Amino acid sequence: MELLNEMDTICSNNGLHYFLIGANALSAYNEQTIDNGSRMVAVAMPSEDLEIFCKIVKKEYDKDRYVYKNINDKTDSSYFVAYGDKNSTFFVLSNLDPLKPHGIIIRIYPIRKSSINWENDEEQPISFYESIKNSFRSFIRKNLLYRDAFYVRYGLKVIKYAHNYLAKIKNHFAKRYPKAIIKERLYDIFGRDSYFTNALLLLYNYIYSGLNYTYFYFKNLRKHPFIETWDDLKYYDNAKIINRDLNTELLDTVDKMDVDGIDLNIPGNEFYENIFGKNYKKKKVSFKPLKPTAVLDTGTSYQKILKERKENINEIKAIQREIRKTRYEVLEETTAVNKIFKIVKMTDYQIKYQNFFERRGKYLFSLDMDDEDDFHELYHRLLPIINTLKRYSEENMTFSIDEEADSLIQNVLIKIGEEDLVFKLKELSKRKYFIE
């Protein structure tokens, strides 16, 4: 709760946007509380706001707090930044990486791009100058520079001058625009009002728009997968939070709500209906219990525990490795015993059906497979043997009665269309099973 309070204060004071997500958000919305047993809360942020937040934490809260990026590949949907408390400890002994922080954390997931709102993008085009200017201002925000500083004001003037110069160059070459050249050539060859001309132009527009979509995907979604600012949400129909698509209109309802005595940014009811279904108000939030090998301490630095208890932790991990090894050996032995038991059980069936053929074999061989009544009786008497062979074949095992009986059973299987089973039984019969 301290971390959440600090996050809200930092974001409010610096114009940054965030909102709670996941089960904690549902608990906060339905019951105005976050379960104290949860060691981790998840929030979402635009990527630029997240970068600014990280810089502020490193600059002003470095003594007690840390920010840690869990992976290097930002294209992975599981990418998040951990905002944590240095004076707390949480880790599981079986999965202890001493190179990363292990305290109580808030997971901050950047909002991802999903599908662009092309109509909105066309209605509100951003000029090259505006784009460069916005990038420059973004750089100022990220590096916490003063907007009225000399190099900031004159930096914008230099950008404007460069933009005007490039605009003149663009106008000079405007007549060489590919679409204009294609139109001119088509008009010269087929005429201005030709059906063929219009059809080719439509084809050109179709291909050009397809290339635009492809260009957008590879340039924006792959290289720049995140929505940078809150205002950029209007250019997208959908956004992704972790790996879930979400209509961006649902984020218009994010507002302050009192949660455990702290004002936090919480989405509105439509957000939860979209994520958790229409019965989201009746849904109870349940948290997984801590593993018995987890170490949890909200008052002691994880660095201190790791340093002071290094020998104990190494000893515990060695014991765990020995336990896992012993479990694996026992599992292997159990599997081997089970296999032997199956072989013994199968051998019982084999003896049973051998005795059956000794008593009934003469009669069974006398039945005519071409006669419908005889075949029906033969199939009915052999069905238990067929079912047993089928069941053991699924476990890659089989047995033999004798050469004549095996041949009779195979002929019956072929007649009822079980050629695949016959082939598998022939392959399995080449194996030998030994009990020592």
Task: DSSP for 250-283, please give it.
Answer: GGGG-EEEEETTEEEEE--HHHHHHHH-TTTTTP
Write the CB contacts of 355 (distance below 8 Å, at least 6 apart in sequence): none
Q: For position 246, what pLDDT does the model report?
A: 86
The pLDDT of residue 175 is 44
In this predicted structure, the answer to whether residue 314 has a pLDDT above a threshold of 70 is: yes
Instruction: Report which of residues 190 and 426 the model is more confident about.
Output: 426
Q: Give the per-residue pLDDT at 384.
A: 93
pLDDT at 100 over 80: no
Nearest-angstrom CA–CA distance, 18 and 288 = 25
Helix axes 128-142, 150-172, angle to 10 degrees: 160
Residue 78's pLDDT is 75
Between 156 and 266, whose confidence is greater? 266
pLDDT value of residue 121: 41
Report the phi/psi class of residue 342: left, alpha or beta, with left for phi > 0 and alpha for psi in -120 to 50: alpha
Average pLDDT over residues 419-424: 90
**Per-residue model confidence (pLDDT) at position 8:** 94
Q: Determine the pLDDT at residue 119.
A: 44
The Cα 222–Cα 240 span in angstroms is: 14
Confidence of residue 263 (pLDDT cuts 50, 70, 90): very high
- The sign one gets for the Cα dihedral 314, 321, 105, 27 is negative
Q: pLDDT-based confidence at 282, cuts 50/70/90?
A: confident
- Give residue-wise pLDDT tens across range 325-351: 888 888 888 888 888 888 889 999 999
Strand 255-259 relative to strand 112-116: parallel, antiparallel, unpaired? Answer: unpaired
Give dist(CA 381, CA 399) in Å, integer: 18
**Stretch 286-304: mean pLDDT:** 78
- For the CA atoms of 138, 139, 143, 149, the dihedral, rounded to the nearest 10 degrees, stands at -100
> Which whole number is the average pLDDT over 124-148?
55
What confidence tens digit (pLDDT) does each residue in 19-32 have?
Answer: 999 888 888 888 88
Q: Average pLDDT over the chain, rounded to whole?
A: 79
For residues 207 and 211, what is the distance between their CA atoms, to the nearest angstrom? 6
Structure-token match 């292997």, residue found: 332
pLDDT for residue 98 is more than 90: no
What is the pLDDT, as a whole number, of residue 123?
A: 38
Residue given tokens 């204060």 in the structure block: 9
Distances (CA, A) of 245 to 77, 182, 220, 388: 12, 40, 17, 50
> Has residue 132 got a pLDDT over 70?
no
Q: Between 130 and 2, where is the model more confident?
A: 2
The pLDDT of residue 26 is 86
**Contact criterion met (CB below 8 Å) for 74 and 226:** yes
Give me the phi and psi of 128, to 5 degrees please.
Answer: -60, -40
**What was the pLDDT predicted at 151?**
58
Residue 154: pLDDT band (50, 70, 90) is low
Length, in residues, of the chain: 436
Q: What is the predicted pLDDT for the residue at 436?
A: 33
Which helix or strand (DSSP H or E) is residue 183 part of?
Answer: helix 178-190
Percent of the chain with pLDDT over 70: 72
pLDDT at site 357:
93
For 211-262, write each residue's pLDDT tens digit.
Answer: 655 555 555 555 567 888 898 888 888 888 887 888 888 888 899 999 888 9
Res 120: pLDDT: 45
- Whole-model pTM: value is 0.54
**Rounded Cα gap, residues 189 and 197, in angstroms:** 9
Give the pLDDT score at 385. 93
pLDDT band at residue 166, thresholds of 50, 70 and 90? low
- Could you give the dihedral angle defined by the CA atoms of residues 25, 31, 34 and 35, in that order, rounded to the nearest 10 degrees? -120
pLDDT of residue 350: 92
